[in-house]
C-alpha cells in the first residue's frame, strides 16, 4: 500500500510536471524568460528528475517509462528515451528522402493518401498525450480492442509498402538497448526528497505570472494554460484543494476515451470513445492505401505528386511510423496498466512533434 | 554570332536562351516553373532582347519568347533535359537553329532542375556564351529542416556549386537566395557577378482595402499545405493560445488535398480547442476562388520555418492585405532593407521567430497575430503603403533590372547588383548604380566623367514615395516605353 507520503509525492509530481507540459519546452531551456523564472524551472526540472514517481506495481516494466510493443534483443525492457534515440539514429542515417523529378537518383518511397498524414499525426499526438509528463496512473478499461486492431492495420499497411519500396539497411536500424527495467529497484520517497521537490515546485509556480497578468501584458512567452497550471500547483503544494491533473477537456476519461481528439455536437465538446475512434479510423482509412514507389517509375511519381493528393515517406520513415502506431495500439490494449508518467515522457512528444513530422514530404 | 563587343547591345538584339525543364504556371509544379515562366515572358518584352526558351514537351504561351520543345519521353522532364544537354545535338530539338546561323549570348538555367543542363549546353554547344544561373531554393536549409544526413546535403549542394563555378552571372530570387548564391560561389575563380532579383506581381487583382473586422471575428488566411516547413502546426498552436485568451477569429486554410479535408477539420478543431473556427478548402488554381479568399481575409499569415523568398506572402502584401511573414525568408529580408522598404512597415509584418522552436515559436506568432487584431486599422494602412512600394516591383521591373545587370557585366562590371524600385540597380550600400548606358557615355567622355556627376553614386529614391519612376527616367526610356529595336 502506498504511504501517505507516497500519495502526496505523486500528487505534487503530477501537478508540477503538468505545468511544464502545458508550457512545453523549450521556454525554460532558452533565454527568452526572465532569469529568475528560468532558473526556478530548471531547478524544478532537476528536482523532478531526481525524484521520479513510483512505478505501477505488479507490472514488469511500467508503460509510463518503457516501450510496450517490443523488447531489446536480450529481452530486457527498453526505456522510452532509448527507443526515441534509436528512431532518431535511423532518421539520421536515412539516405535520401524522395526527390522526384530532379534527375537526382533517389531511393524508393512510400506514397500515402494525404488523409493518412492527418490520421497518423493525430494518432501519434494521442500517443504523445498519453505520455504527457505527470499523467496519473491509468488502466485501459474501455472497449479498445477494435481501435487497437485498426491502428495496427494502418501501421501494417505502411510496413508492407515500406518493405516493397526498399529493404531497410540493417546498419541503419540499430537495436534499442534495454536497461533491466524488469528488475527496477524501488526508490522510496523520503521526507527530505519530498520537501526538496515541494520547495522547487512552489518557487517555479510563483515565478509565473497569473493568467490575468499575462493577458493584460500581452505576454505570449508564457502559455495561458501554464499560468493556470501554476495556480493549481501552488494550491497542491500548499496542501489546498486543486486537481493534480486536468485533461484537455472536461469529461475525458483516459481509460475509456481518446485524450487528444474530441468531437462537438450541439456546440458542446464531447469525448471520443475508443469505439467511436475505431469507426472513424476505419472510414478514413478506406480508399487509397499506402503504396511503394519505384524511383525509376516517373509516371507513378507524377501521379503521386499531382495536385498534392499524395504525401511521400521514405521507407525508413514509413517503418518508424508503423512502429509508433504499434506502440500506441499496444498501449490501448484492454487491461494495460501504467503508472504516473515521469518527465522522460517528453522525449516521445518532442520526437513525434519534431523530427518525425519533418519526415512527411508533401509532394 | 554573339560578340563580346561592349557596343553590341546598341547594334543588334541580345540573344538570351532560358533553359527550363518545366516553365509556366499551368505546370502546377510549384514556384520554380512559375518564376521561370514570368521572367521568360517579361524578358522577351524588353527592348533589344530576343528570348528563346528550351523546355521539354508542351508548355503554355510565353509571350514573345520563341519556344523550343524537346520531344518528351516517359522520363522526368529534368532527366530528359539533362540527357539532351549531355548527349544530344541541336538537331535533336525541332526548330532549333543550326549553331552556324544562331547562337545565344547568354544561357540561363534554374536551380538544380535545369542549371546543370544549361551548363552542359554552354560547354558543348555554345562555349562562347555567358552562363547565368538562378538560385531558387535555400538548398542546405531545406535539407537541414528535412533532416537529411550531411553527406546527402553536400551532394545536393554540389550540383549547383558546379554550375555556379562556371557561371558569369548568378541571380538570386530575393536577398536570402542571393546570399545562398554567394555561398555557392565562394571559392570560384573568377567569382561570378551576383544579382538580386525581386519577383514581380504573381497574379492579377485589384488592391484590397480590408476593413476593420468591427464586431465580427478576425478573418485569417493561410495558403499552403500540411508541410512541416510551411509551419501549419505552429499556426494551429498559436491560434489555440489566442482562443484560450478569448481572441475571436476564423482561419481559412486554402490548399489542402480534397480527400484530407474531412479528417483535417476535426483535427484542427481539436488542436485549437474549439469547433467552427477553421475552414479547409481544396487546392485551386482558379483565380476567382483565390480572389474570393483575399477579399474574405482581414489578414494573411505565412508561418513557414524557412522560405527562399515567400511569393505567397508577397502576394498578400501586393493585394494590400496585412500579411505576417516569417523572419527567415527573402521577403522579410527585403522588407528589412531601409533603402527599399520604410522601416515601420517591415517591423509591423515580420514576426520575430528567428531560431525559435516549439511553444516559443508558436508564442511569437500568437503575439504577432494579436497585435494585428488589436489595431487592424493601422496594419491595413501599413499594408496599403507596402502595396505602393511593391508597385515598383513588377515582373517587367524584374526583367529590366536583370537585363541592366547583364549589360553592366558585358561592360566589365563584376559588382553585386540589387534590384531597386522601378527596375533601377542599387549597390550593396543602397546607392543607385550607373546604368550601362551611363557607363558607356562616361567612357566616351573620358575617365572621371561619371564620378563628376555622381561623386558617391546617385542616391536611390526614398522607398514608398513613388519616386521610382522619376528615378528610372533618368537612365533613358523606361521599360515598355522604349521604341522596339527588335528584329
Q: Are B138 and B181 in contact (CB under 8 A)?
A: no
pLDDT reported for residue A205: 98
Q: Are strands A109-113 and A310-313 parallel, antiparallel or unpaired?
A: antiparallel
Prediction ipTM score: 0.93
Give residue for cell 527496477: A184
Confidence of residue B487 (pLDDT cuts 50, 70, 90): very low
At residue B33, does pLDDT exceed 70? yes
Q: What is the pLDDT of residues A28-55, one digit of tens each?
A: 988 889 999 999 999 999 999 999 998 8
Residue B367 forms contact with A (CB below 8 Å):
yes
Element (H, E) at B377: helix B376-390
Can the peptide bond before residue A84 be classed as cis, meaning omega within 30 degrees of 0? no
pLDDT reported for residue A29: 86
Give residue for cell 515500406: A162
Weakest mean pLDDT among A313-317, B169-173, B315-319? A313-317
Would you call B140 exposed, middle or buried from its count of C-beta atoms within 10 A (0-12, 13-18, 19+)? middle
Disruptive mutation site among A25, A27, A32, A103 for chain B (greatest number of B CBs within 10 Å): A103
Cβ atoms within 10 Å of B445's Cβ, excluding its own: 12
Cβ <8 Å between A24 and B359: yes
pLDDT reported for residue A45: 96
C-alpha B217/C-alpha B178 separation (Å) is 40
Q: What is the pLDDT of residues B242-292, one digit of tens each?
A: 999 999 999 999 988 888 898 898 899 999 998 889 999 998 888 899 999
What's the rounded mean pLDDT across residues B355-359?
91
Q: Are strands A337-338 and A138-139 parallel, antiparallel or unpaired?
A: antiparallel
Q: What percent of chain A has pLDDT over 90?
A: 59
DSSP B57: S
A with B: how many residue pairs have Cβ under 8 Å apart? 148
Distance from CA of A188 to the nearest CA of B (A): 34
pLDDT reported for residue B241: 97
Residue B149 forms contact with A (CB below 8 Å):
yes
pLDDT reported for residue B453: 40
Nearest residue on chain A to B228, judged by CA atoms? Answer: A358
pLDDT reported for residue B481: 32
pLDDT reported for residue A96: 54
CA distances from A123 to A117, A217, B428, B432 (A): 10, 36, 50, 56
pLDDT reported for residue B1: 44
pLDDT reported for residue A286: 80
Distance from CA of A154 to the nearest CA of B (A): 15
Cβ <8 Å between A220 and B367: yes
List CB contacts (< 8 A) between B269 and chain A.
264
Cβ atoms within 10 Å of B209's Cβ, excluding its own: 12
Q: What is the pLDDT of residues A194-219, one digit of tens each?
A: 999 999 999 999 999 999 999 999 99
Q: What is the pLDDT of residues B457-471, one digit of tens each?
A: 444 455 555 444 433
The rounded mean pLDDT for chain B is 87
Q: What is the pLDDT of residues A165-187, one digit of tens each?
A: 765 554 445 667 777 555 455 57
- H helices of chain A, where? 4-23, 35-50, 80-92, 114-130, 145-165, 191-206, 211-217, 224-237, 274-285, 298-305, 315-331, 346-353
Q: Which of B74, B226, B255 sits opposite A298 (nearest CB)?
A: B74
Burial A84-103 (b: 16+ CB within 10 A, else e): bbbbbebbeebbbbbbbbbb
Q: Which of A113, A262, A298 sits opposite B75 (nearest CB)?
A: A298
At residue A322, does pLDDT exceed 90? yes
SS3 A54: coil
C-alpha B475/C-alpha B477 separation (Å) is 7
Q: Chain B 406-465, CB below 8 Å of chain A: which residues?
A: none
Helices A315-331, A145-165: crossing angle, 10 deg rounding: 160
Distance from CA of A219 to the nearest CA of B (A): 8
> Who contacts A19 (Cβ-Cβ below 8 Å, separation ≥6)?
A204, A205, A208, A226, A229, A230, A232, A233
Cβ <8 Å between A101 and B78: yes
pLDDT reported for residue B257: 85
At residue A1, does pLDDT exceed 80? no
C-alpha A73/C-alpha A176 separation (Å) is 8
Pull the grid cell for residue A14.
Answer: 503530477
At residue B206, does pLDDT exceed 90? no
Cβ <8 Å between A91 and B366: no
When comparing pLDDT for B478 and A77, which is higher?
Answer: A77
Cβ <8 Å between B29 and A92: no
Nearest residue on chain B to A266, judged by CA atoms? Answer: B275
List CB contacts (< 8 A) between A118 and chain B.
226, 260, 263-264, 267
Cβ <8 Å between A361 and B146: yes
List CB contacts (< 8 A) between A104 and chain B.
112, 156, 159
List CB contacts (< 8 A) between B146 and chain A.
97, 358, 361
Q: What is the pLDDT of residues B39-65, one digit of tens each?
A: 999 999 999 999 999 999 999 999 999
The rounded mean pLDDT for chain A is 87
List CB contacts (< 8 A) between A264 and chain B.
269, 275-276
pLDDT reported for residue A101: 53
Disruptive mutation site among B83, B263, B280 for chain A (greatest number of A CBs within 10 Å): B263
Q: Chain B 253-272, CB below 8 Å of chain A: which residues?
A: 255-260, 262-264, 266-267, 269-270
Distance from CA of B364 to the nearest CA of A (A): 7
What's the rounded mean pLDDT across residues B432-454?
74
Q: Are B260 and B227 in contact (CB under 8 A)?
A: no
When comparing pLDDT for A362 and B256, which is higher?
Answer: B256
Distance from CA of A340 to the nearest CA of B (A): 24
What's the rounded mean pLDDT across residues B286-303?
93
Q: Which of B21, B255, B266 sits opposite A263 (nearest CB)?
A: B266
Specify which residues A265 forms β-bridges with.
Answer: A268
List CB contacts (< 8 A) between A228 and chain B.
none
List CB contacts (< 8 A) between A32 and chain B.
360
CA B201 to centroid of chain Cα atoms: 10
At residue A291, does pLDDT exceed 60? yes
List CB contacts (< 8 A) between B29 and chain A.
101, 305
At residue A242, does pLDDT exceed 70? yes
At residue B324, does pLDDT exceed 80? yes
What's the rounded mean pLDDT across residues A248-257?
93
Cβ <8 Å between B359 and A93: no
SS3 A314: coil
List CB contacts (< 8 A) between B360 and chain A.
26-27, 30, 32, 221
Disruptive mutation site among A105, A128, A362, A363 for chain B (greatest number of B CBs within 10 Å): A362
At residue A230, does pLDDT exceed 70? yes
Disruptive mutation site among A105, A220, A268, A299 for chain B (greatest number of B CBs within 10 Å): A220
Cβ <8 Å between A118 and B267: yes
Q: How many residues does chain B have?
A: 487
At residue B102, does pLDDT exceed 70? yes
Q: What percent of chain B has pLDDT over 70?
A: 87
Would you call B8 exposed, middle or buried from its count of C-beta atoms within 10 A (0-12, 13-18, 19+)? middle
Cβ <8 Å between B147 and A92: yes
At residue A327, does pLDDT exceed 90? yes
Torsion region of B23: left, alpha or beta (phi above 0 gives left; psi -120 to 50 gives alpha): beta
Pull the grid cell for residue A138.
Answer: 491509468
Amino acid at each position: 500500500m502506498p504511504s501517505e507520503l507516497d500519495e502526496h509525492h505523486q500528487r505534487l509530481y503530477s501537478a508540477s510536471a503538468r505545468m511544464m507540459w502545458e508550457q512545453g519546452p523549450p521556454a525554460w531551456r532558452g533565454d527568452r524568460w526572465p532569469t529568475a523564472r528560468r532558473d526556478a524551472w530548471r531547478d524544478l526540472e532537476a528536482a523532478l528528475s531526481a525524484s521520479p514517481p513510483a512505478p505501477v506495481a505488479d507490472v514488469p516494466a511500467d508503460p509510463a517509462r518503457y516501450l510496450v510493443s517490443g523488447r531489446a534483443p536480450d529481452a530486457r525492457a527498453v526505456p522510452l528515451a532509448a527507443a526515441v534515440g534509436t528512431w532518431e539514429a535511423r532518421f539520421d542515417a536515412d539516405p535520401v528522402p524522395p526527390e522526384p523529378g530532379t534527375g537526382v537518383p533517389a531511393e524508393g518511397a512510400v506514397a500515402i493518401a494525404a488523409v493518412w498524414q492527418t490520421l497518423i499525426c493525430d494518432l501519434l499526438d494521442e500517443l504523445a498525450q498519453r505520455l504527457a509528463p505527470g499523467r496519473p496512473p491509468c488502466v485501459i478499461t474501455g472497449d479498445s480492442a477494435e481501435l487497437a486492431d485498426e491502428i495496427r492495420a494502418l501501421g501494417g499497411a505502411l510496413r508492407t509498402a515500406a518493405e516493397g519500396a526498399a529493404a531497410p539497411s540493417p546498419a541503419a536500424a540499430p537495436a534499442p538497448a534495454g536497461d533491466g527495467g524488469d528488475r527496477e529497484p524501488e526508490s522510496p520517497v523520503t521526507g527530505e526528497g519530498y520537501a526538496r521537490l515541494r520547495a522547487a515546485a512552489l518557487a517555479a509556480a510563483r515565478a509565473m505570472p497569473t493568467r490575468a497578468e499575462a493577458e493584460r501584458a500581452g505576454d505570449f512567452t508564457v502559455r495561458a494554460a501554464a499560468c493556470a497550471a501554476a495556480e493549481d500547483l501552488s494550491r497542491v503544494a500548499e496542501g489546498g484543494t486543486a486537481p493534480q491533473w486536468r485533461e484537455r477537456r472536461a469529461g475525458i476519461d483516459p481509460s475509456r476515451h481518446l485524450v487528444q481528439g474530441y468531437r462537438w455536437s450541439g456546440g458542446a465538446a464531447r469525448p471520443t470513445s475508443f469505439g467511436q475512434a475505431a469507426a472513424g479510423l476505419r472510414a478514413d482509412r478506406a480508399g487509397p492505401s499506402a503504396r511503394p514507389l519505384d524511383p525509376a517509375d516517373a509516371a507513378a511519381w507524377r501521379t503521386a505528386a499531382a495536385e498534392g493528393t499524395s504525401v511521400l515517406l521514405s521507407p525508413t520513415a514509413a517503418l518508424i511510423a508503423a512502429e509508433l502506431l504499434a506502440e500506441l495500439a499496444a498501449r490501448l490494449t484492454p487491461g494495460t496498466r501504467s503508472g504516473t508518467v515521469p518527465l522522460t515522457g517528453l522525449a516521445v512528444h518532442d520526437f513525434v512533434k519534431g523530427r518525425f513530422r519533418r519526415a512527411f514530404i508533401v509532394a | 554570332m554573339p560578340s563580346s563587343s561592349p557596343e553590341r547591345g546598341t547594334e543588334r538584339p541580345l540573344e538570351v536562351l532560358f533553359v527550363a525543364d518545366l516553365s509556366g504556371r499551368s505546370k502546377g509544379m510549384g514556384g520554380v516553373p512559375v518564376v521561370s515562366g514570368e521572367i521568360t515572358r517579361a524578358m522577351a518584352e524588353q527592348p533589344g532582347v530576343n528570348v528563346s526558351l528550351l523546355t521539354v514537351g508542351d508548355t503554355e504561351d510565353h509571350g514573345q519568347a520563341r519556344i523550343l520543345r524537346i520531344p518528351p519521353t516517359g522520363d522526368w522532364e529534368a532527366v530528359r533535359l539533362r540527357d539532351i544537354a549531355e548527349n544530344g545535338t541541336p538537331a535533336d530539338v525541332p526548330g532549333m537553329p543550326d549553331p552556324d546561323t544562331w547562337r545565344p549570348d547568354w544561357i540561363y538555367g534554374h536551380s538544380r532542375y535545369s542549371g546543370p543542363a544549361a551548363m552542359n549546353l554552354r560547354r558543348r554547344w555554345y562555349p562562347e556564351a555567358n552562363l547565368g544561373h538562378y538560385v531558387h531554393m535555400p538548398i542546405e536549409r531545406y535539407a537541414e529542416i528535412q533532416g537529411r544526413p550531411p553527406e546527402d546535403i553536400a551532394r545536393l549542394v554540389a550540383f549547383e556549386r558546379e554550375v555556379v563555378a562556371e557561371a558569369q552571372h548568378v541571380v538570386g530570387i530575393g536577398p536570402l537566395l542571393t546570399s545562398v548564391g554567394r555561398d555557392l560561389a565562394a571559392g570560384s575563380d573568377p567569382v561570378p557577378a551576383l544579382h538580386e532579383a525581386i519577383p514581380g506581381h504573381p497574379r492579377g487583382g485589384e488592391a484590397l482595402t480590408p476593413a476593420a473586422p468591427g464586431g465580427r471575428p478576425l478573418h485569417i488566411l493561410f495558403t499552403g499545405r500540411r508541410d512541416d516547413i510551411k509551419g501549419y502546426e505552429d499556426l494551429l498552436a498559436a491560434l489555440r493560445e489566442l482562443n484560450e485568451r478569448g481572441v475571436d477569429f476564423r482561419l481559412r486554410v486554402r490548399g489542402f488535398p480534397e480527400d484530407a479535408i474531412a479528417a483535417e477539420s476535426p483535427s484542427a478543431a481539436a488542436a485549437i480547442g474549439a469547433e467552427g473556427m477553421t475552414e479547409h478548402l481544396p487546392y485551386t488554381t482558379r483565380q476567382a476562388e483565390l480572389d474570393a479568399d483575399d477579399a474574405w481575409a482581414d489578414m494573411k499569415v505565412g508561418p513557414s520555418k524557412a522560405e527562399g523568398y515567400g511569393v505567397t506572402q508577397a502576394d498578400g502584401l501586393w493585394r494590400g492585405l496585412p500579411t505576417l511573414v516569417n523572419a527567415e525568408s527573402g521577403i522579410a529580408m527585403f522588407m528589412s532593407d531601409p533603402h527599399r522598404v520604410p522601416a515601420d512597415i517591415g517591423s509591423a509584418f515580420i514576426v520575430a521567430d528567428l531560431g525559435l522552436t516549439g511553444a516559443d515559436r508558436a508564442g511569437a506568432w500568437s503575439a504577432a497575430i494579436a497585435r494585428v487584431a488589436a489595431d487592424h486599422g493601422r496594419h491595413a494602412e501599413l499594408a496599403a503603403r507596402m502595396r505602393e512600394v511593391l508597385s515598383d516591383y513588377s515582373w517587367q521591373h524584374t526583367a529590366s533590372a536583370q537585363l541592366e545587370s547583364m549589360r553592366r557585366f558585358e561592360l566589365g562590371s563584376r559588382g553585386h547588383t540589387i534590384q531597386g524600385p522601378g527596375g533601377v540597380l542599387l549597390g550593396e550600400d543602397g546607392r543607385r548604380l550607373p546604368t550601362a548606358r551611363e557607363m558607356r557615355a562616361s567612357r566616351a567622355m573620358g575617365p572621371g566623367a561619371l564620378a563628376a556627376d555622381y561623386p558617391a553614386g546617385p542616391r536611390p529614391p526614398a522607398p514608398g514615395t513613388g519616386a521610382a519612376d522619376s528615378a528610372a527616367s533618368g537612365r533613358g526610356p523606361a521599360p515598355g516605353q522604349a521604341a522596339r529595336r527588335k528584329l
